[in-house]
Amino acid sequence: MLSPHEAKRYRQTTAFAYRMILPSLALILVFIGYPLLYSISISFKEYKYGVPTGRIIWFKNFLDILTKSTVAPYFYRSLLVTMKFTVVAVVAVVVISLGIALLINERFRGSGLVKLALLMPYAIPGAVNAVVWNWIYDPSFGVLNGLLYKLGIIDEYFTLTGNPDYALWAIVFAYVWKFVPYSTFLFSAGLATMPESVYDAARMDRCGTIRTFVKITLPLLMPVLQMIMVLQTIFALVMHFGLVFVLTGGGPGDATRTLAWYVYQQSFTFTRFGRGSAMAIILALTMIVFIYLYLVVLDPERRLERQRRSV
């Protein structure tokens, strides 16, 4: 137990600490906490044309989303699209960035240049990224069409984003392009913590290159890999919004209508704020699951402590 003197000190320090944190907390509570709560309250109300009708309908919005025949099928379809997108995008990002990270860890003369080049997709604002890829995919004059045509792979220009079968993958590709560098740097940092002597020992133990990767690098990289996968999932659920906005507008049909996009549509195209909020909350809940996975289960802070100590 603490002596009265120690307890007083503790209380003073705590009070001081809270005072320092207060401005930040306040900002976050006001601009994020409050809207979040408000969002929940909106989802319990009925809105028409962006204005509340005054009726509180509690969970009807949610029920509509899940069961009403004019909404539910589209909702479930958006979940499917979201899942398709997320799985492919996350796997692609992780695999590609791991490969690039292995490359830049080889400490050769050009690695600085490669790192600089990797910063470019990272630095480009999402909107500009969308616009650039829109231009690349352009069905009349885009360079993708142009290249394929020149190489003789296709006979005439085609539309990528107007094709329901290809549209989603077009978005995936543009998304992956922008988000690979971030993961690459994280992987690169993780790879750098691998003890060099373990690799020497593996060589002496007659371990082939591929075998070394599978049996040594991957297991040791597992904590980092898990972190990155979960983090990328969290990003992929939402960060594709700009791309959909510019490239496909959710279409053609509903080929690229992810949950995030559907929320936008419900809220601002159909002006059904109530329903839109309800969907937004479902989306947020999904993300909270992954956020919990990331921050609590995987706990990056404690992991890097353990890693720092063991190396």
Partner 1 sequence: MFSDTISGRIRRKKILVLVGTVIVLAYTLAPIYWVIVSSFQKEIALQDRPPHFLPTPEIFTTNHYWFIFTGEIRPGSTIMIQSMYTMAGTLIWPAVVNSIAIAVCVTLVNLIVGFPAAHIFARYRFWADRRVFLVMLATRLLPSISIVIPMYIVLRQFNLLDTKRGLVGIYSAITLPFTIWILKAYFQNIPVEFEEAARMDGCSYFRSLIRVVIPLARPGIIAAGIFAFMSSYGEFVFATILTQTIRSKTQTAVIAALAQGMSSSRGMIAAAAVVCFMPPVLLAIIFRKQILEGLTARLGL
Partner 2 sequence: MAFLRLESITKRFPGCLAVDHLNLEVEQGEFVVLLGPSGCGKTTTLRIIAGLETQTEGRVILEDVDISDVPPERRDMAMIFQNLALYPHMTVFNNIAFYLQNIGTPKPDIQEKVVEAARRVKIEELLDRRPDQLSGGQGQRVALAKALVRSPKVFLLDEPLSSLDAKLRAGMRSELKLLHKSLREEGKGGRGTFIYVTHDQVEALTLGTRVAIINEGSIEQLASSTDLYRKPKNLFVATFVGSPSMNLIEGTLERSDKEAMFRFQGKRVGVGPRGFVALTRARCETMPAILGVRPESVNVVSRGEPGSLDAMVSTIQPLGETNLIMLLLGEVTLTSLASPDLPVKEGEKISIRFQPESLHFFDPETSENLLGDEL
Contacts to partner 1 from residues 64-93, by CB under 8 A: none
Q: Are 295 and 311 in contact (CB under 8 A)?
A: no
Which residue stretch of 123-131, 200-208, 262-270, 287-295 sits at the interface with partner 2 (rule: CB under 8 A)? 200-208
List, in sequence order, the alpha helices (H) in the chain: 4-28, 34-43, 60-67, 72-104, 111-123, 126-137, 143-150, 167-192, 196-204, 209-212, 218-236, 241-243, 259-264, 273-292, 300-310
Total site size for partner 1, rule CB under 8 A: 102
C-beta of 227: minimal distance to partner 2 in Å? Answer: 17
Using the rule CB under 8 A, which residue among 8, 11, 55, 211 binds partner 2? 211
Alpha carbons 161 and 167: distance in angstroms, whole number:
4
Show the site string, 214-243: x = touches partner 2 by CB under 8 A, - = not. --x--xx-----------------------
Quote the least distance from Cβ 100 to partner 2, whole Å.
24
Q: Is residue 229 within the footprint of partner 1 (CB under 8 A)?
A: no
| C-beta closer to partner 1: residue 163 or 307 | 307
Check if the beta carbon of residue 132 is closer than 8 Å to that of residue 189. Answer: no
Task: Please tell me whether residue 200 binds partner 2 under the rule CB under 8 A.
Answer: yes
Q: Which is nearer to partner 2, 24 or 310 (CB)?
A: 310
Q: How far is the CB of 155 from partner 1 (least distance, A)?
A: 12
* Separation of alpha carbons 222 and 242, rounded Å: 31
Contact region with partner 2 (CB under 8 A), list: 24-32, 70-78, 199-207, 291-299: 199-207
Instruction: Identify the three-state secondary structure at position 2.
Output: coil
- Rounded to the nearest angstrom, the gap between the alpha carbon of residue 137 and the centroid of all alpha carbons in its chain is 23
* Residue in 55, 129, 122 with CA at minimum distance from that of residue 93: 122
User: Shortest approach of partner 1 to residue 215 CB, angstroms?
Assistant: 19
Among 66, 131, 220, 225, binds partner 1 (CB under 8 A): 131
Residues 183-222 contacting partner 1, CB under 8 A: 185-186, 188-190, 192-193
Scan residues 240-259 and list those touching partner 1 (CB under 8 A): 241-242, 245-246
| 28: CB partners within 8 A, 6+ apart | none
Quote the distance between the C-alpha of residue 222 and its chain's center. Answer: 20
Structure token digits, residue 134: 């829109």
Task: Give the binding range for partner 1 (CB under 8 A) out of 72-80, 83-91, 210-218, 275-283.
Answer: 275-283
Smaller CB distance to partner 1: residue 69 or 285?
285
Is 198 an interacting residue with respect to partner 2 (CB under 8 A)? yes
The option from partner 1, partner 2, none interacting with 250 (CB < 5 to 8 A, set by class) reads: none
Q: What angle do CA 308, 310, 311 make, to 5 degrees?
A: 70
Q: Is 32 helix (H, G, I), strand (E, B) or coil?
A: helix
Beta carbons of 98 and 228 less than 8 angstroms apart: no
> Out of 1, 204, 296, 297, which residue is the one contacting partner 1 (CB under 8 A)?
296
The site for partner 2 (CB under 8 A) is made up of 195, 197-198, 200-208, 211, 216, 219-220, 310
